């Protein structure tokens, strides 16, 4: 165990790569989720179909298969990616498909009257989305996005199979050099767990912020005002 | 390099054999996940706070760590405590245990959805605990969550390629083998991708029917 703990710089470097993959992958997934999710709710049937095809295709493929395909098959027809790029692309495309469904569902779940009101107020389509629908929809998206974020972080462990030096690959190296298999894997399981818990706290914080922004929960200023009112009574 | 249909046809039987292993591992793992998840969910209702919290954190831990790491852990750690299984069995255990953390949440929601009156009735009738669970609560709880549970079958199918890392000869593994031997990766990888999409889309159509049957009651 002490051998494993004393080589913590190696594990920290691996964890840093895992975190980088998570950040880049989720940034790509977020963009794709909004683009294709909003397409899924479009009025034109063609635009909707494009959104559907993206979602069905990338929800149907396994991340690892996609990654292998990008990494091993595509170079043969002339596209060569750096491993890191292939990994981020595979993670982002895959999680983005799930995210697109979340976005579509959330926008649809905003009460119909809100949409009608925007038409009554003669807002342009972009204004409707930007000022009324999205702020409410985003609050609904956050909890499922949180789950997807953790899924993506967990999914990033497979990049070790295309030789990116993430936490998982570092663990393999450490296993070979120390021979303490059980200890190594226990330690990195705990590291992954800690990362997941931190991500969860982050998402909870954002959920609270979104609620306050929409006036569904009193903010700090309002809370202290309420407190003084209560004290005055 | 261009697509070679002749080569694609030649390697298809190998890949389909891999697909059989993939499906096998998925179904067996799913059975484990269904049973173990139910066990977690029932234990979460235990009156003992200790059992309750321990199960809660164990499940949380399993859910928030990567399946791949868990597979390696099982693959290397089980033999060191004297349990030696084949790679496939280890993979099935890994998949099953990992997904039990998801199914347990599904069952938990189902159990929470059983009206309080049903619980009170079992108390009033003085039913033994076993009949409370197997005669009254679970039949109602499980029926409601069948469609949700089905989604995890597909999710699990898509995680099964990870088994290649612990040398299970599943589909992606055979594709990689074929590719490494012939130095042609384009055909095997593409076929595997397409097969994955076909099986996932077919099973999601099947699920939609299941949802239709159980969804509205």
Tell me the per-residue pLDDT of B6-35, one tens digit each, with 9 for 90 and over: 888 888 888 888 888 889 999 999 999 999
Asked if A40 contacts A50 with a C-beta cutoff of 8 angstroms, the reply is no
Please state, for a pLDDT cut of 70, what percent of chain B lies above it. 98
- Does residue A65 sit at the B interface (CB-CB below 8 Å)? yes
Please state, for a pLDDT cut of 90, what percent of chain A lies above it. 38
Statement: residue A232 has pLDDT above 70: no
Please state, for a pLDDT cut of 90, what percent of chain B lies above it. 41
Mean pLDDT of chain B: 87
Give A114's contacts (C-beta < 8 A, 6+ positions apart): A132, A133, A136
Residue B217 binned pLDDT confidence (cut-offs 50, 70, 90) = very low
ipTM of predicted complex: 0.81
Backbone angles phi, psi at B183, to 5 degrees: 60, 25
Domain count, chain A: 1
- pTM value is 0.84
Compute the nearest-CA separation of A172 from chain B (Å).
9
Question: Which structural domain, as residue segments, surrounds residue A108?
Answer: 2-232
From residue B104, alpha-carbon distances to A2, A49, A61, B152 in Å are: 35, 35, 25, 11
Average pLDDT of the residues in A209-224: 80
The number of C-alpha atoms within 13 Å of B39 and in the hemisphere containing its C-beta is: 13
Give A78's contacts (C-beta < 8 A, 6+ positions apart): none
Question: Which structural domain, as residue segments, surrounds residue B195?
Answer: 5-215
What is the rounded distance in angstroms from the CA atom of residue A65 to the CA atom of residue B19?
13
| Vertex B65: Cα angle to B64 and B69 (nearest 5) | 165
CATH code: domain of residue A217? 1.10.3720.10
CATH code: domain of residue B47? 1.10.3720.10
Tell me which residue of B67, B127, B114, B113 sits closest to B92, measured CA to CA: B67
Mutate to test the interface with A, among B2, B64, B168, B200 (most CBs of A within 10 A): B64
Mean pLDDT of chain A: 87
Mutate to test the interface with B, among A1, A14, A60, A151 (most CBs of B within 10 A): A60
- Does residue A157 sit at the B interface (CB-CB below 8 Å)? yes
Statement: residue B99 has pLDDT above 90: yes
Kindly identify which residue of chain A lies nearest to residue B71, measuring between CA atoms.
A185
Q: State the angle between helix axes of B186-215 and B138-159 in degrees (0 to 180), rounded to the nearest 10.
A: 170
Tell me which residue of A214, A202, A205 sits closest to A134, measured CA to CA: A214
Domain count, chain B: 1
What confidence score (pLDDT) does residue A233 get?
Answer: 54
Statement: residue A129 has pLDDT above 90: no
Q: CB–CB of A185 and B162 under 8 A?
A: no
What confidence score (pLDDT) does residue A206 get?
Answer: 92
Give B-chain residues touching A72 at CB under 8 angstroms. Answer: 176, 179, 185, 189
- Using only C-alpha atoms, chain B has a radius of gyration, in whole angstroms, of 21
CA-based torsion, B59, B64, B65, B67: positive or negative: positive
């Amino acid at each position: 165990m002490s051998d494993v703990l004393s080589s913590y710089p190696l594990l920290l470097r691996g964890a840093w790569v895992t975190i980088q993959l998570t950040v880049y992958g989720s940034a790509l997934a977020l963009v794709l989720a909004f683009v294709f999710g909003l397409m899924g709710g479009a009025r034109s049937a063609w635009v909707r179909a494009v959104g559907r095809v993206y979602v069905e295709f990338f929800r149907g493929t396994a991340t690892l298969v996609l990654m292998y395909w990008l990494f091993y098959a595509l170079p043969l027809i002339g596209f060569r990616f750096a491993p890191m790029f292939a990994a981020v692309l595979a993670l982002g495309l895959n999680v983005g498909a799930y995210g697109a469904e979340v976005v579509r569902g959330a926008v649809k779940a905003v009460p119909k009257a809100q949409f009608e009101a925007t038409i009554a107020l003669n807002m342009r389509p972009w204004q409707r989305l930007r000022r009324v629908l999205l702020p409410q929809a985003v609050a609904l998206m956050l909890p499922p996005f949180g789950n997807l974020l953790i899924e993506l972080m967990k999914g990033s462990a497979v990049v070790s199979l295309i030789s990116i030096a993430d936490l998982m690959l570092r663990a393999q190296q450490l296993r070979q050099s120390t021979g303490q298999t059980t200890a190594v894997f226990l330690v990195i399981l705990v590291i992954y767990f800690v990362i997941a818990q931190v991500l969860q706290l982050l998402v909870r914080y954002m959920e609270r912020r979104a609620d306050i922004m929409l006036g569904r929960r009193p903010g700090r200023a309002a809370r202290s005002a309420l407190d003084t009112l209560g004290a005055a009574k | 390099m261009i697509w070679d249909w002749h080569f694609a046809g030649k390697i298809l039987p190998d890949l389909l054999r891999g697909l059989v292993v993939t499906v096998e591992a998925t179904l067996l793992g799913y059975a484990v996940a269904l049973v173990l998840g139910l066990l977690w969910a029932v234990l979460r209702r235990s009156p003992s706070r200790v059992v309750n919290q321990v199960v809660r954190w164990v499940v949380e831990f399993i859910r928030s760590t990567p399946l791949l790491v868990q597979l390696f852990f099982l693959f290397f750690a089980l033999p060191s405590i004297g349990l030696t299984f084949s790679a496939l069995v280890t993979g099935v255990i890994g998949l099953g245990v990992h997904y039990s953390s998801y199914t347990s949440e599904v069952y938990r929601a189902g159990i929470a959805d059983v009206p309080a009156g049903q619980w009170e009735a079992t108390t009033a009738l003085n039913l033994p605990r076993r009949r409370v669970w197997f005669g009254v609560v679970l039949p109602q709880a499980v029926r409601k969550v069948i469609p949700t549970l089905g989604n995890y079958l597909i999710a699990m199918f898509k995680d099964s390629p990870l088994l290649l890392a612990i040398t299970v000869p599943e589909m992606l593994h055979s594709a990689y083998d074929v590719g490494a031997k012939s130095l042609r990766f384009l055909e095997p990888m593409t076929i595997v991708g397409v097969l994955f999409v076909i099986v996932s889309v077919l099973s999601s159509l099947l699920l939609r029917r299941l949802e239709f049957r159980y969804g509205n009651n």
